[in-house]
Amino acid sequence: MWERGVDVPARSKAKSPDRIRIEHPAPTVDDGAWPVKRTVADTVHVSADIFRDGHEVLRAVVRWRGPSERRWRESPLTPVDAHFNGVRWEGDFTVEAPGATQWTIQAWVDLFAGWRDELARKVEFGQPDLSGELSEGVVLVQAAAERAKGEEARRLTAAAEAIATDPHAALDPALLELVESVQERTEATELPAPLEVDVDRTLARFGSWYELFPRSWGGFKGVQKQLPRLAELGFDVLYMPPIHPIGHTNRKGRNNTLTPEPGDPGSPYAIGDETGGHDAIHPELGTDADFRALVDAAREHGIDVCLDIAINCSPDHPWLKEHPEWFFRRPDGTLKYAENPPKKYQDIYNVNFGSEDWRGLWDALLAMMRHWVDRGVKVFRIDNPHTKPFAFWEWLIREIRATNPEVIFLAEAFTRRAVMRELAKIGFTQSYTYFTWKNHRWELVEYVNELAHGPERDYFRPNFFLTTPDILTDYLAEGGPPAFPIRLILGATLSPSYGVYSGYEHYEHVQRPGSEEALDNEKYELKQRALDGPLLPMIQRLNRIRRANPALQRLDNVGFLDAANDAIVAYAKREGANTIITVVNIDPHGAQEGLVQVPYDLGVPPAFLAEDLLDGELYNWRVGGNYVRLDPGERAGHVLRVNTT
């Protein structure tokens, strides 16, 4: 709620208090405390309650300026006649460049339009003497002529002479348009302070991510050889876990054991050894030149390289000697290793953000981030950001994006919802989500509707990663290979951004006993990886479908459909003339059938052809009920494009 306090002005030439009210502007986050988020070329729909005492005619505009722009642009707002004498106004503007776009609303009294409306009523009712009214109009038009130039000024001067004796001349619509274009904005009132839109490039909203451990692919040079195939598969982001030197002390062995065998590589999250820390590269992966070559080659293939930033330090990290004050110590002087009960990370120490030298720590972490930005990295996955101070992330993201607004930050934060929301508000571009564990129809519908249509839609962008090296859900472990296409279709068609870890396309579904992690976890051992998993053809097909259909590139357009069967999830997305209906059997153990209800308000013909984009099959569908039967062993779902031609 905007503050309404009014100070009584001193008696003199002080401006009288504003009489126009502008309230409840939208879109906002926490009443303007944080910017809303959009991507380049998005249209921002603006609205507000705008009203004034009395019967004056009001006009209003939305004004905006992009990053580094000094001049404001504006677009008209129009009243919404939702009810008699409604006060809600709305309009639009388009954002054009990454960074902070400011916007505000300005409203004013249109004196000429108010005078003209009053005159029109008197003319209609046949009032005989309008000389006094016409004299007022002459003054208004003459004032407009003084503000105009050239031909417009001449036209207005002539109009002032004409309306002095002819009321009908004052009712010319062309005159109204001309006067409004140049007259003074009387009682002009704006929001107390501009609001902001945080604008990102399109990848912040829409993209397909592929995660791999470069050490399982022959280092940077081996990964670079995979770029043409990754591009063919339709991936936009190549995400790699930490690429830094790995500590020797307390190194983990296979399956997270405390007794590594000779040659065990250790976890890449135990960062740092005698050769360097967070700004160094593990020598077995390649050189700095090799890394730069990978980033450049990926960009040529339309792929962004994403680095994992984990603020973890192995016991051998250089910072422990150079800055011992940055780490937690118990009263007996010993260092405390990281824990997340029941998980223990004996090979990792957390930094102490409560250190007396917290400013030095912040500056070092910012310098580390700039090091990788300077090497062409524009996407970062941040490990466990919810365990670090909000103020630190707000500052760091602001500092990075002040010079590099194209940089994207993905929050790996599986934690309390309020914390995840706060991370998004303070600057994180995207976030991991609870989708990984939403496996029943009711909870999928509830969760996706909350993300797509609740208050979070203006600032929280989900990334539906299907699995991670840390997470192999019971649903996949128990459902086996048939469960993998199910989750793939859901993730790729529900969320504009989704991610695949390289074990996924191989149906890796055996859990380590007592854990939600995969057995023989790649975090702790080398694997020989290749792009040959049996699920890759479907992944490629879905990525092509996503790129070809704008309806799948947004989240806020999703609407769930009834299927009379809780084992079948159906939903529609529409963007312009493009409509996609997706139907998925979420039971990996057997066939399910149902009657999918297409609502009348979806905007499709009463009867239409539905093309399954997964295999090209055509079906005759209609508004109303449509029978489907899906067997996950043969067909996990339909991705149907409505054909209206």
Distances from the Cα of 638 to the Cαs of 583, 592, 628, in angstroms? 5, 13, 9
Indicate if the pLDDT at residue 34 is higher than 70: yes
Confidence tier at 83 by pLDDT (50, 70, 90): low
Tell me what pLDDT residue 13 has.
Answer: 60
Tell me what pLDDT residue 85 has. Answer: 62
Last residue within a domain, chosen from 56, 80, 110: 110
Give me the chain's average pLDDT, please: 95
- Rounded distance between C-alpha atoms, residue 600 and residue 623, angstroms: 6
Q: What is the pLDDT of residue 340?
A: 75
The CA distance from 339 to 360, in Å, is 25
CATH number of the domain that 617 lies in?
A: 2.60.40.1180
Contact criterion met (CB below 8 Å) for 627 and 595? yes
Cβ contact 60:105 at 8 Å: yes
Q: Is the dihedral of CA 371, 376, 378, 382 positive or negative?
A: negative
For 249, residues 6+ apart whose C-beta sits below 8 A from its C-beta are 314, 315, 316, 347
Mean pLDDT of 419-447: 98
Task: Please check whether residues 245 and 327 belong to one and the same domain.
Answer: yes
Q: Are residues 37 and 117 both part of a single domain?
A: no
What's the number of domains the chain is made of? Answer: 4
Q: Looking at the predicted structure, is the pLDDT value of residue 532 above 60?
A: yes
My answer on whether 300 and 440 are in the same domain is yes
Residues 91 and 135 in one domain: no
Distance of CA 602 to the CA centre of its chain: 25
At 643, which helix (H) or strand (E)? strand 637-643
Residue 300 placed within a domain: yes
Question: Percentage of the chain with pLDDT > 70?
Answer: 97
Among the ranges given (33-47, 57-71, 116-130, 486-500), the one the predictor scored with the smallest mean pLDDT: 116-130
Please measure the distance between the N-terminal and C-terminal CA atoms of the chain and give it in whole angstroms.
49
**Does residue 423 sit within a domain?**
yes
Q: Which value, to the nearest 10 degrees, does the dihedral of the CA atoms of residues 362, 363, 368, 372 take?
A: 110
- Which tens digit of pLDDT belongs to each residue from 465-484? 999 999 999 999 999 999 99
Averaged pLDDT, 399-413: 98
Q: Angle CA(370)–CA(375)–CA(377) in degrees, nearest 5?
A: 80
Do residues 529 and 563 share a domain? no
Q: What is the pLDDT, as a whole number, of residue 360?
A: 98
Report the CATH number that the domain containing residue 37 is assigned in CATH: 2.60.40.10
Among the ranges given (3-7, 383-387, 474-478, 511-515), the one the predictor scored with the smallest mean pLDDT: 3-7
pLDDT tens figures, 506-528: 999 999 998 899 999 999 999 99
Name the residue among 269, 357, 285, 271 with its Cα closest to residue 318. Answer: 271
- DSSP 8-state class, residue 378: -
What band does 442 get if pLDDT is binned at 50, 70 and 90? very high
Question: For residue 6, what pLDDT band results from cuts at 50, 70 and 90?
Answer: very low
Please check whether residue 208 lies inside any domain of the structure. Answer: no
Give the residue numbers spanning the domain of 446. 220-547
339 beta partners = 344
Residue whose tokens read 């790995």 = 246
Identify whether residues 533 and 609 lie together within a single domain.
Answer: no
**Domain identity same for 80 and 124:** no
Candidates 539, 477, 535, 472; CA nearest to 505 is 535
Q: Who's near 446: CB < 8 A, 6+ residues apart? A: none
Question: What residues are annotated to the active site?
Answer: 383, 412
Task: Verify that 381 and 485 share a domain, yes or no.
Answer: yes
Residue 202 lies inside a defined structural domain of this protein:
no
Q: How confident is the model at residue 415 (pLDDT cuts 50, 70, 90)?
A: very high
Q: Is residue 63 part of a domain?
A: yes
State the Cα–Cα distance between residues 370 and 376, nearest whole angstrom. 10
In this structure, are residues 388 and 311 in contact, taking their beta carbons and an 8 Å threshold?
yes
pLDDT at 330: 83
Question: What is the pLDDT confidence band of residue 16, given thresholds at 50, 70 and 90?
Answer: confident
Is 272:312 a contact under the CB 8 Å cutoff? no
**At residue 489, does pLDDT exceed 70?**
yes
539 and 603 inside one domain? no
What secondary structure, in 3-state letters, does 102-116 show? EEEEEEEECHHHHHH
CATH code at position 147: 1.20.58.80
